Amino acid sequence: MSELERIITMLREDGERLTIQRKLVLEALVATQAHMTINDVSHYIESQQSQSIAEPTIYRILQWLKEHELVSQTDMAEAGIVYQIIGQQRHHHLVCLNCDKTIDIDDTIFNNLRARLFRDHQFEARIDHMAIYGYCRDCEPVEP
Amino acid sequence: MSELERIITMLREDGERLTIQRKLVLEALVATQAHMTINDVSHYIESQQSQSIAEPTIYRILQWLKEHELVSQTDMAEAGIVYQIIGQQRHHHLVCLNCDKTIDIDDTIFNNLRARLFRDHQFEARIDHMAIYGYCRDCEPVEP
DNA sequence: TTGACTGCAAAGCGTTTGCAACAAA
DNA sequence: TTTGTTGCAAACGCTTTGCAGTCAA
């Protein structure tokens, strides 16, 4: 049973309607496993399949997937807002303020922070897909 | 010498022009020491002074202050994008996904994370004003 | 069959831009 | 005087909405 089938089965059991459009968006996100902008999703579907989905529909579907906690939404500054399937291998990004390079980092780096937030504030952090800004090794930090 | 005077002197020494509008925006941010949306800044100035500044100008001034690393910019989700003077007492926020309550947290909580990012990735994080989403002690986390 | 979803077009909103008038240095 | 800044209006891009037609269940 593929990841896509597993997700679809789960949604169906929740009593959700699985339209062609919803399946196409899910397929794009699962197939690429990448963070995609609304445009990326739209273009991917247009190129892979020979059909297109109206933009408002993509917005509605991504919002619906977010409500089901199946996709994460992250503001990547220059790159815009990206969506990504919440998979097993959760990860985050370092974004260079100078050269816009992004570095993938493992989720475990937040374990300590999560624990502290819960211990000190009884706050259960949901860090699904975080972007941290700063300067990469190749770029001089611009001091004020 | 007040904080406002100190900042203005610094900018002047950088060869920047100090217009009335720039001073008013700075004064709003320094006086409130709060995170303000563009609208908050605009309304504050209108109420305190008997003049108003065009919105595009406020956008330009806040961007300019950001470039001088004098204000931070944070996306607070529901509350929108907020700006705040980067003062001595840097802090961050926990935002509850259920009740929208925000909890202020100290900057020191990120020291460990900063150190790890630099050690493991030679990445110099600029965490000026971060919002972390999750569930507060009064709200049940919504499990998928 | 029926209620939910889609597509279209249009509205909405926050943000940016071009340009002439203006003001700080 | 000169160069950078402001205000206005208009453009912009992304996102949302209303509504009629369509489709999954």
Using one digit for the tens of pLDDT, what is the confidence trace for B19-59?
A: 999 999 999 999 998 889 999 999 999 999 888 999 999 99
The answer to whether B127 contacts A134, with C-beta atoms less than 8 Å apart, is: yes
pLDDT at position A119 over 90: no
pLDDT tens by residue, A24-80: 999 999 999 888 999 999 999 999 988 899 999 999 999 999 999 999 998 887 788
Would you call B68 exposed, middle or buried from its count of C-beta atoms within 10 A (0-12, 13-18, 19+)?
middle
pLDDT of residue B144: 37
A48 CB inside 7 Å of strand D: no
Rounded to the nearest 10 degrees, the angle between the axes of helix A111-121 and helix B111-121 is 180
Helix H or strand E segment including B87: none
pLDDT of residue B88: 66
The pTM for the full model equals 0.79
Q: Could you give the CA distance from residue A69 to residue A86 in angstroms, rounded to a whole number?
A: 8
Q: Which residues lie below 8 Å from residue A88, measured CB to CB, with a gap of 6+?
A: none
The list of chain B residues with pLDDT below 70 reads 88-89, 140-144
CA B51 to chain centre: 24
Query: Which residues on chain B are in Cβ contact (under 8 Å) with A133?
Result: 125-127
Does residue B116 sit at the A interface (CB-CB below 8 Å)? yes
Q: Which of A94, A110, A124 sits opposite B141 (nearest CB)?
A: A124
Q: A54 to chain B nearest CA, in Å?
A: 25
pLDDT of residue B143: 46
DSSP symbol at B36: B
Nucleotide of closest approach to B12 (CA, C1'):
C25
pLDDT at position A143 over 50: no
Q: Could you give the CA distance from residue B21 to residue B144 in angstroms, rounded to a whole number?
A: 49
A23 CB inside 7 Å of strand D: no
B54 CB inside 7 Å of strand D: yes
pLDDT of residue A91: 85
Q: Which of A97, A120, A122 sits opposite B126 (nearest CB)?
A: A97
Provide mean pLDDT across the span A81-100: 86
The whole-chain average pLDDT of chain A stands at 90
Please name which of A61, A56, A54 lies closest in space to residue A27, comparing C-alpha atoms. A61
pLDDT of residue B75: 83
Does residue B68 sit at the A interface (CB-CB below 8 Å)? yes
pLDDT at position A115 over 90: no
Distances (CA, A) of B42 to A34, A80, B63, B112: 39, 26, 15, 37
Provide mean pLDDT across the span A7-25: 96
DSSP symbol at B92: E
Q: Could you give the CA distance from residue B18 to residue B94 in angstroms, rounded to a whole number?
A: 35
Distance between the alpha carbon (CA) of A1 and the C1' atom of C14, Å: 44
